[in-house]
Amino acid sequence: MFKPLNPLLHSELRLAIISLLIGVKEAEFSYIKEKTGATSGNLSVQLSKLQEVKYIKIEKSFKDNYPLTKCSITETGIQAFEEYVEILKSYIKK
């Protein structure tokens, strides 16, 4: 029997965000937006959803009088991603 996939990570954009952060640990909003091709509004919504479940941490500050948003993956996020990948692997093996 197949284990259910984490619905939060099964979204294409949220999975892309987590996958990006797994590799870099921390990234600015503009970098994530560029790499995912998401709109600012959609990206903001998806980042908020990931922050709500503590998969990522968001820090807001200013750099040269401009807003700066940095995102980093948490241990909870790493574990969720690893579990998601393992479940996907089990789908392939069956």
Provide DSSP, 44-66.
HHHHHHHHHTTSEEEEEEEETTE
pLDDT in tens, 19-78: 999 999 899 999 999 999 999 999 999 999 999 999 999 999 998 989 999 999 999 999
Domains in the chain, start-ordered, CATH in brackets?
A: 12-93 (1.10.10.10)
Angle between helices 12-24 and 29-36 (to 10 degrees): 120
- The whole-model pTM stands at 0.91
